[in-house]
């Protein structure tokens, strides 16, 4: 039995869909459902049991899971605007350390979600080597809480005994419960539906025209394919970027959404809130050399292909869930 923490969340539930497609349902889903609607992400999924995150930790400490095959730890508070540092340390850092320590002691696979937010403004590049990791300065507390565990694993000398995945800008179905943290694709779809246009932030750097700020976008179906590959392998531990390996502009994304809806582009550039300007990333791009060298790796969908599938086969449907 594999444990999938954050299994009711965005990437977690997409991973469950992938595992079900592969014929796996002996899965323990761990999450914190609380009052959100992410429970809807589980309705079509098959799994052995569900458990709340704190309860799972108590049972794990009591030795009640002797036959666990491994842990995929995707559960975390992913809000980049969360200001409660104590909460983030407990939820994102300490919890991850506890699971990692158990997996190391039991010699079980441990795959965990880091984040591209650990890279801060990108001043030190987007590489996962040890030297770069030690230099990074995240711009928000969420990124720092993720970075702290990467540092812990590195300093303990155990990073190569687990797999850490630095997710970049992942978008796709089952992100609906995330509110303001949903992808711009989901927000753009709603804006077009109700206003007929997409609103993008103006640029405050002369080298970037409005809407030409760039991100590394990756469709969630491609992201979970990679996680599944890691689950099948007991070798190749370390810290890995997971993005498309190509930076695309917000204007590109807007055009892709309009194209998927077969509508002419209409973009309005709006002022960026003052609170965001100092910490805004103008360019992110995952260094994906680790995967590009693998000739057997399945090609990722282009931004246009991923957006088209998301818009036409999910966002436009009455039931938009995987």
The span from the CA of 167 to the CA of 9, in Å, is 14
pTM for the predicted model, two decimal places: 0.96
What is the distance, to the nearest Å, from the Cα of residue 87 to the centroid of all Cα atoms in its chain? Answer: 19
Asked if residues 37 and 176 have their Cβ atoms less than 8 Å apart, the reply is: yes
Q: Say if residue 288's pLDDT is above 80.
A: yes
Q: Which domains does the chain have, with CATH numbers?
A: 2-169+217-242 (3.40.50.720), 178-216+246-282+301-315 (3.90.25.10)
Give residue 81's pLDDT.
80
Positive or negative: CA dihedral 197, 201, 205, 208: negative
Neighbours of 97 (CB within 10 A): 14
What residues are labeled active site? Answer: 142, 178
**pLDDT mean over 276-298:** 89
pLDDT band at 234 (very low <50, low <70, confident <90, very high): confident
| One-character DSSP codes across 71-103 | EEE--S---TT---HHHHIIIIIIHHHHHHHHH
Tokens of 204: 């405050």
Give residue 293's pLDDT.
83
Kindly report, residue by residue over 47-59, the tens digit of the pLDDT. Answer: 999 999 999 999 9
Kindly report, residue by residue over 64-103, the tens digit of the pLDDT. Answer: 988 899 999 999 988 888 889 999 999 999 999 999 999 9
Question: What single DSSP character describes residue 202?
Answer: P
Kindly report, residue by residue over 136-180, the tens digit of the pLDDT. Answer: 999 999 999 999 999 999 999 999 999 999 999 999 999 999 999
In angstroms, the Cα distances linking 126 to 160, 186, 231, 286, 317 are 19, 26, 24, 6, 37
The span from the CA of 196 to the CA of 174, in Å, is 24
Asked if residues 96 and 162 have their Cβ atoms less than 8 Å apart, the reply is: no
Positive or negative: CA dihedral 24, 9, 39, 310: negative
């Amino acid at each position: 039995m594999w444990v999938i923490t954050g299994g009711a969340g965005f990437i977690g539930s997409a991973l469950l869909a992938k595992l079900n497609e592969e014929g796996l349902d002996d899965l323990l889903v761990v999450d914190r459902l609380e009052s959100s609607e992410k429970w809807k992400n589980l309705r079509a999924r098959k799994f052995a049991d569900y458990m709340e995150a704190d309860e799972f930790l108590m049972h794990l400490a009591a030795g009640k899971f002797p036959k666990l095959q491994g842990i995929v730890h995707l559960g975390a508070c992913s809000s980049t605007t969360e200001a409660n540092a104590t909460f983030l340390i407990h939820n994102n850092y300490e919890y991850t350390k506890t699971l990692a320590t158990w997996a190391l002691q039991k010699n079980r696979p441990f795959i965990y979600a880091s984040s591209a937010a650990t890279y801060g403004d990108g001043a030190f590049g987007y590489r996962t080597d040890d030297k770069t990791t030690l230099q990074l300065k995240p711009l928000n507390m969420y990124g720092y809480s993720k970075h702290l565990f990467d540092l812990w694993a590195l300093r303990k000398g155990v990073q190569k005994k687990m797999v850490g995945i630095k997710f970049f800008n992942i978008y796709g179905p089952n992100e609906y419960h995330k509110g303001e943290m949903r992808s711009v694709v989901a927000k753009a779809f709603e804006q077009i539906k109700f206003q007929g246009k997409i609103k993008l932030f103006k640029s405050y750097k002369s080298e970037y025209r409005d809407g030409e700020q760039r991100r590394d976008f990756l469709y969630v179906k491609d992201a979970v394919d990679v996680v599944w590959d890691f689950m099948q392998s007991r070798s190749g531990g370390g810290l890995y970027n997971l993005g498309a390996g190509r930076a695309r502009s917000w204007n590109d994304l807007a055009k892709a959404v309009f194209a998927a809806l077969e509508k002419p582009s209409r973009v309005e550039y709006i002022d960026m809130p003052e609170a965001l300007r100092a910490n805004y990333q103008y360019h992110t791009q995952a260094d994906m050399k680790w995967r590009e060298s693998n000739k057997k790796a399945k090609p990722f969908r282009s931004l246009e292909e991923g957006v088209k599938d998301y818009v036409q086969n999910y966002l436009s449907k009455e039931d938009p869930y995987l």
